[in-house]
């Protein structure tokens, strides 16, 4: 059984940025993307602050975000990385399976990777992720080096939009056509 301890939430900076971006896209009528809550059962609660300090996950989560962009089903997970290598262990098998099934239903699945040391965002298409996962399953590298990524899927900063992932989706769809 997995547990969660409140010593710190990894990825919360990226999550905050994505949540704000989702609000902006919704307000502009461009997309409706929601954070998927992870069900937890509290074990210990600090009585003074009323914060959960220890809990266990009731079930495995799928992805961080799900919704629609102009009628296109979209799901994605947001990951932070402090170095130039992204550990594939950060993508759980049940998440990859969900994303694969989502794509089979004509949806768009991807990872957003925030390289915090470089302040860079990357849109990792599921089919690209699948290649790296397959390589790992065959006994190859268990991480993705930045140099292996398609440079055209780095998301350039845009004024007023913290995580311009719609640009990545548009490029992804253009390549699928």
What is the model's pLDDT at position 56?
A: 57
Instruction: Specify which residues 57 forms β-bridges with.
Output: 40
Ligand-binding site membership of 119 (annotated): no
Q: Into which CATH architecture does domain 3-176 fall?
A: 3-Layer(aba) Sandwich (3.40)
Dump pLDDT digits (tens) for 119-154. 999 999 999 999 999 999 999 999 999 999 999 999
The answer to whether 152 and 175 have CB atoms below 8 angstroms apart is no
What is the model's pLDDT at position 21?
A: 96
Where the chain has pLDDT below 70, the residues are 1-12, 38-43, 52, 54-61
What is the model's pLDDT at position 57?
A: 53
What is the model's pLDDT at position 44?
A: 75
Both structure tokens of 97: 């399976």
Ligand-binding site membership of 3 (annotated): no
Dump pLDDT digits (tens) for 68-79. 999 999 999 999
Ligand-binding site membership of 64 (annotated): yes
Domain ranges of the chain: 3-176
Locate the DSSP E strands across the chain.
3-5, 31-35, 40-45, 52-57, 65-69, 72-81, 85-87, 108-115, 120-125, 143-145, 154-155
What is the model's pLDDT at position 55?
A: 57
The answer to whether 25 and 31 have CB atoms below 8 angstroms apart is yes
Ligand-binding site membership of 117 (annotated): no
């Amino acid at each position: 059984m997995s547990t969660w301890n409140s010593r710190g939430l990894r990825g919360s900076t990226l999550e905050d940025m994505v949540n704000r971006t989702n609000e902006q896209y919704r307000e502009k009528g461009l997309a409706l993307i929601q954070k998927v809550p992870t069900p937890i059962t509290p074990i210990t609660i600090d009585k003074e602050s009323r914060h959960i300090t220890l809990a266990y996950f009731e079930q495995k989560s799928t992805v961080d975000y799900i919704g629609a962009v102009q009628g296109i089903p979209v799901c994605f997970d947001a990951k932070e990385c402090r170095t130039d290598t992204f550990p594939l262990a950060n993508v759980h098998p049940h998440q990859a399976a969900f994303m694969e099934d989502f794509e089979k239903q004509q949806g768009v699945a991807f990872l957003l990777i925030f390289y915090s040391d470089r302040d860079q965002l990357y849109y990792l298409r599921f089919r690209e992720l699948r290649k790296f996962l397959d390589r790992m399953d065959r006994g190859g590298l268990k991480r993705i080096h930045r140099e292996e990524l398609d440079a055209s899927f780095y998301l350039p900063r845009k004024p007023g939009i913290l995580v311009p992932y719609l640009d990545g989706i548009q490029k992804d769809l253009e390549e699928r056509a």
